[in-house]
Chain A
Amino acid sequence: MKSKSGFYLIVLVLVITGLSLAWLRHTELQVPFQPGQKKAVWLIEARIDFEASGEPVRVSLNLPDKPPGYRQVSEQAASTGYGFAIIENSKGRRAEWTRRNAQGPQTLYYKVQMVEAAQSGSLSKSQKQPQPDEVFWDALQATAAHQLVEQAYAKSSTPTSLARELAKQLTVSEPDQNASLLLSQYTLPTLIMRLLNHAGIPARVSMGLELQDARRYQSLKPILEVYDTDRWVPVDPRTGDHGLPENMLLWQRAGKSLLDVTGGEDSEVNFSMLRQTMPAMDLARLQQDTNGISRFSLYSLPIEEQSVFKLLLLLPLGALIVTFMRIIVGVHTSGTFMPVLIALSFLQTQLVQGLSAFLLIVALGLVLRGYLSRLNLLMVARISTLIVLVIFLTSIISVIGNELGFNLGLTITFFPMIIIAWTIERMSILWEEEGSREVLIQGLGSLGVAILSYMCMRMDIVRHLTFNFPELHLVLLAAILLMGQYTGFKLTELKRFGVMRGHH
């Protein structure tokens, strides 16, 4: 059947769209699937001190640009009297402070929050093949360098292994003559960089910050990076191990200057850092305006509207439960979606208080409705009267409850008054026409479905997923559509037709 396969295609598309959008939101925006998850965040503060000389000042600090293993959450700069901008271009990111006139010691702060990330900002491929820098040595150095490289070259196969071999030769407890000569003139990382470039392999020294909780006045440490096949690989100059050491944040890459100060002298930069834990949800929210698909999230709404949506987005789940209970199980309820609305109000009132208040109001309403039926009113007028009475009842119950010390007053107003009035009316007619048994069946059915919906809607994970992954409602929709095509027996029909057991 053509229409049938089309239908299943729509269902499939809905499910796939819903799930993949949710996955995208999870991976791209780091919205956690679980509520209450916490993540470690490094708060890093760079402090720049210099002596201003009374001229226009321009301070430029290199900033980390998508460092491997970390993801930037937020950044800010504090510096009174200075103009501040973050300049981003193909060469990287730099913070720039400017001031027309400054005198004496100056202090500038830049703060950034970084969170550990498994994948993002990895050792990304560089767009074009870098060329090794030309290296100049004096004659003696050149011979020494040449010999060192030659020894290491023989024992290695790749640029990283060559770097490792070089590191080994230079860090043995008693280095040979060549090594001692060169080490006396260059620091270890710089020397290995020079040697590698000498061997025709692009290498550079970057600056990294070792992250340790509650450290102050830290400075950057040089990190050797070797270009291997198609990416820059960090290599530890002391051990020759490749890969980034743990807790190492690459602050400055590609050999640019860390700090430029014009109009000042004696400039220095040092870092302090702090490890914080933050709810993963807040982190995701902090990042929301930086990414494309976050435009379709609800966080951009004002807070009050967000809380309305938190409730509204639970409704589809209630609808799904009602659909399931009515189509698959076959429960009788009074009014199709009344149970969902009741469940929503239970969310505000708590179950026990809500349930007892609800039963009290409906019971009193039924008694009053009994008197009303003697008055021979037209239906609309009768229901209007009921609405007024229900509101009276709720206020009386609130006042009495308050006197007795139960704080029902506020919560009871969440009940959908008009729905309750209609429920009373329907129940009353049902009672007259079908007897108390049917009232009991439908009443219990409605309350059962309401309590079930309440239990589901109350779960933290449900509230978290419905609000933070609105696209999951497409999956709910698909499930509802599928149930709309269910032609099997309802569970209750198996009992209803139970008399046919063994019959032929």
Chain B
Amino acid sequence: MWIFPSDLRKQGFLGMNRRNVAYISRYNTRSRYPLVDDKLKTKLQAEKFHLATPQLRGVVRYQYEISSFQRTVEHLDGFAIKPSKGAGGKGILVITGRNSDLYGKSSGSSMSIHDIKRHLSNILAGLYSLAGSPDVAIIEDLIRPVEMFEKLSYAGVPDIRVIVFNGYPVMAMLRLSTRASDGKANLHKGAVGVGLDIASGQSLHAVQYSRRVTRHPDTGLPLDTIAVPDWKNLLLLASRSFELTRLGYIGADLVVDAHRGPMLLELNARPGLSIQVANGLGLLPRLRKIEQLDPDFSPSPEERVEFAMRTFG
């Protein structure tokens, strides 16, 4: 089904070209990109700013360090291996359990230590990095999702994507992995996107493959009654990533850990546009509202979150 451009414009939808020209290249300073493109740097910076992130367990920088990898994860039941400069969720390996020599993946299949080592060496060679440049692998704690999220998602942890514009959270969605998305939270791979009300964190609208759904395709649970716990703190965390990066237009990926509450997973300087479909709303009216604010006025993150909850709820 096709839509007229005038219809899309009326609904305030942001297209990729306008996003790139009018938002990303205007509000995001190039020199600060490495801070978000490199997950290790984001993590270290977040620790400096006292933003909660999953605990870092180790970094594999060189090929020879791969052989001692086993020692790093010896006492961990579950862990995640991520390429530091990976894009679009590429190269992320989540190990949820161990059975003697076999490591169990979140999707249910398992792999040997050799497979993991090969994955590490691929990461170091830059297979998953943006421009194919050499990379490092980071190993961090597994996230233990809150119970209601655990049940909701097919495999993998649901995460919450918040678009933060000049420090104001403007739009949010919950991403639920499905069987079709192989435990990944990327919408184009078949994950379910649930648009969230900025005022309350309650679900508004849900889509899979750009089609409206009311129940999770694998777990069968209803998607219209979800309410994200600790919502205001979560928005605050997203909002503070503006101070962290000084980038005007970012997507903050957050999770809610059962023990530690909202945590910052990663930041994205080129956040996707599917969030609009998940919310059934265009981004432009909200972005314009923020652009109309007095540029000399620099409110605190708390004030920004309150403004957003009041205005976009």
Tell me, in angstroms, the Cα distance from A488 to B18 when the chains sit together.
6
A54 nearest CB across to chain B (Å): 85
Q: Which of A484-504 contact B (CB under 8 A)?
A: 485-490, 493-501, 503-504
Q: Which residue of B lies closest to A381 (CB)?
A: B125
Tell me, in angstroms, the Cα distance from A487 to B5 when the chains sit together.
12
Beta-carbon contact of B8 and A489 below 8 Å:
yes
Q: Which one of A485, A486, A503 contacts B11 once the chains associate, using CB atoms below 8 Å?
A: A503
Beta-carbon contact of B17 and A486 below 8 Å:
yes
Known: A379-B122, A380-B125, A433-B90. A494 touches B17 (CB 8 A): no
Residues of B within 8 A of A496 (CB): 210, 277
Beta-carbon contact of A487 and B125 below 8 Å:
no
B207 contacts chain A at the CB level, 8 A cutoff: yes
- Which of B3, B8, B18 has its CB near the most chain A CB atoms (within 10 A)? B3
Q: Which residue of B lies closest to A501 (CB)?
A: B3
Q: Which one of A327, A487, A494, A503 contacts B4 once the chains associate, using CB atoms below 8 Å?
A: A494
B121 contacts chain A at the CB level, 8 A cutoff: yes
A330 contacts chain B at the CB level, 8 A cutoff: yes
Beta-carbon contact of B126 and A497 below 8 Å:
no
0/1 interface trace, chain A 320-332, chain B, CB 8 Å (1 if under): 0000000100100
Beta-carbon contact of B8 and A379 below 8 Å:
no
Beta-carbon contact of B5 and A494 below 8 Å:
yes
Q: Which one of B118, B207, B212 contacts A376 once the chains associate, using CB atoms below 8 Å?
A: B118
B1 contacts chain A at the CB level, 8 A cutoff: yes
Beta-carbon contact of A497 and B3 below 8 Å:
yes
Q: Which residue of A lies closest to B134 (CB)?
A: A379
Q: Which residue of A lies closest to B210 (CB)?
A: A499
0/1 interface trace, chain A 462-504, chain B, CB 8 Å (1 if under): 0000000000000000000000011111100111111111011
Q: Which of B119-143 contact A (CB under 8 A)?
A: 121-122, 125-127, 132
Tell me, in angstroms, the Cα distance from A501 to B2 when the chains sit together.
8
- Which of B7, B18, B207, B276 has its CB near the most chain A CB atoms (within 10 A)? B7
Known: A487-B21, A499-B211, A500-B280. A330 touches B16 (CB 8 A): yes
Known: A429-B127, A494-B4. A488 touches B122 (CB 8 A): no
B61 contacts chain A at the CB level, 8 A cutoff: no
B195 nearest CB across to chain A (Å): 12
Beta-carbon contact of A494 and B118 below 8 Å:
no
B22 contacts chain A at the CB level, 8 A cutoff: yes
Q: Which residue of A lies closest to B22 (CB)?
A: A487
Beta-carbon contact of A495 and B17 below 8 Å:
no
Beta-carbon contact of B276 and A497 below 8 Å:
yes
Tell me, in angstroms, the Cα distance from A501 to B13 when the chains sit together.
12
Beta-carbon contact of A378 and B121 below 8 Å:
yes
Q: Which one of B2, B63, B121 contacts A495 once the chains associate, using CB atoms below 8 Å?
A: B2
Beta-carbon contact of B207 and A493 below 8 Å:
no
B220 contacts chain A at the CB level, 8 A cutoff: no
B189 contacts chain A at the CB level, 8 A cutoff: yes
0/1 interface trace, chain B 234-253, chain A, CB 8 Å (1 if under): 00000000000000000000
B15 contacts chain A at the CB level, 8 A cutoff: yes
Residues of A within 8 A of B211 (CB): 499
Residues of B within 8 A of A485 (CB): 21
Interface residues of B (CB under 8 A from A): 1-5, 7-9, 11, 13, 15-18, 21-22, 63, 90, 114, 117-118, 121-122, 125-127, 132, 189, 207, 210-212, 273, 276-277, 280
7 of the cross-chain contacts (CB-CB < 8 Å) are: A330-B16, A488-B5, A489-B9, A493-B15, A494-B5, A499-B210, A500-B280
Interface residues of A (CB under 8 A from B): 327, 330, 376, 378-380, 429, 433-434, 485-490, 493-501, 503-504
Other than A379-B122, A495-B1, give 18 A-B pairs with Cβ distance below 8 A. Answer: A378-B63, A378-B121, A379-B132, A429-B127, A434-B189, A487-B21, A487-B22, A488-B15, A488-B17, A489-B5, A490-B16, A493-B16, A495-B2, A499-B1, A499-B277, A500-B7, A500-B277, A503-B280
